[in-house]
Amino acid sequence: MDGTIYLDGILFDKIKELMNLLKLKKKTFYFLSNNSSISTNDYLQKLKNVGLEITKDNIIISTHPTIQYLRENNFKRIYLLGTKSLQKEFIENGFKLTDKNPQIVVLAFDKELTYEKLEKAAYFLQDGLPYIATHPDKVCPTKKGYIPDTGSMIALFYESTGKKPIIFGKPNKEMLLYKLRELNLTPKDAVLIGDRLYTDIRMGIEAKVTTICVLTGETSKEMINRSEFKPDIILDKATDLINILK
C-alpha cells in the first residue's frame, strides 16, 4: 500500500478508478502491506477514509502470518514492540502482552517506540528468548522522505545483541501463497504490484507470480538495473494498469 496506492494516507490520482475497473471486470484483489504500525481494523478504516469501498477480507498485512505462527507454536505471553493500535489486535486474538517473564519478543513497526522498550527487549534477547519480527522493511516512505521501519530496528538489535529474528511478511512467499491456496488458485493466476524490490518483487519472484514494479515509492529504474530482483513489468504508477485493462 505505502508507495503503491498512497503516501502518508493520501491516495494517488485515479486509484479509485482502477479499483472500480477491477470490480467491473470481476477481478479478485487484495491490499498487501508489511506495515504493522496499525491493526487490521484501523487499516480498513484508513482505506475507507480515502474512499475505497472494501472489507477486511481485502486486506493482508504482516501481522496475520505473525499471529498464525504464535498460535501454532503456543506462545501466549508476549513482549511486543508495537503501537497501541497493534497491541489491541494482539489482545483481541487472545495474547497476554507483558514485560514480566514473556515467552517471546515480537518486533513490529512501532511508531511509539521508546528507549525503555528497546532496553527491555535487548535484555530479553540476551537472556535467550525467542525473537520474531513482522517484516524486514528498512524504511517507510512519507511525503517528506523515508523514516526508519522495522528492518532498521532489526539491524539495531543485531548490533547490540547479536540476535536475528524469524521474519514474516514480504518477502516471505507464504504471505502470498497461503491466500492463493485458500482461493484454489495457482501462481500463474496472480499478479503482484509493488514498489519495493527486496520485499514485493522478491516475494513475487519466489512465489512464481507475475511481478509489476511501480516507481511511485522506494524504487527507481537505476535500482532495478542494479538489483538481482528484476520485475516482469515496470510501470511509472499503478494506475497505468487502467489502459492495460480496458
CATH of the domain at 22: 3.40.50.1000
Q: Tens of pLDDT along 65-81?
A: 999 899 999 999 999 99
Answer whether 130's CB lies under 8 Å from 172's CB: no
Last-in-domain residue among 111, 142, 167:
167
Last-in-domain residue among 167, 194, 213:
167
Give pLDDT, residue 134: 96
d(CA 13, CA 53): 16
Do 88 and 17 lie in one domain? The reply is: no
Which cell is 33 given? 502491506
Residue 86 resides in a domain: yes
> Can you tell me the mean pLDDT for 153-180?
94
Do 163 and 191 lie in one domain? The reply is: no
Give pLDDT, residue 236: 96
**Mean pLDDT taken over the chain:** 94
> Can you tell me the mean pLDDT for 168-181?
90
How does residue 135 score in pLDDT terms, banded at 50, 70 and 90?
very high
Whole-number percent of the chain with pLDDT over 90 = 80
Do 150 and 218 lie in one domain? The reply is: no
Q: What is the pTM of this model?
A: 0.82
How does residue 58 score in pLDDT terms, banded at 50, 70 and 90?
very high
> Can you tell me the mean pLDDT for 144-155?
95
Residue 78 resides in a domain: yes
Residue 42 resides in a domain: no
Positive or negative, the CA dihedral 6, 8, 9, 10 is negative
Domain region containing 93 = 63-167
Three-class SS state of 102: coil
Residue 180 resides in a domain: yes
Do 88 and 150 lie in one domain? The reply is: yes
Answer whether 134's CB lies under 8 Å from 107's CB: yes
Do 159 and 184 lie in one domain? The reply is: no
The CA-CA-CA angle for residues 42, 180, 218, to 5°, reads 55
pLDDT at position 227 over 90:
yes
Residue 114 resides in a domain: yes
Last-in-domain residue among 167, 198, 222:
167
pLDDT at position 213 over 90:
yes
Do 90 and 156 lie in one domain? The reply is: yes
Do 26 and 84 lie in one domain? The reply is: no
Residue 51 resides in a domain: no
The CA-CA-CA angle for residues 203, 207, 211, to 5°, reads 65
Reference 110, options 82, 89, 142; nearest CA is 82
Give pLDDT, residue 95: 98
Residue 57 resides in a domain: no
* Total domains present in the chain: 2
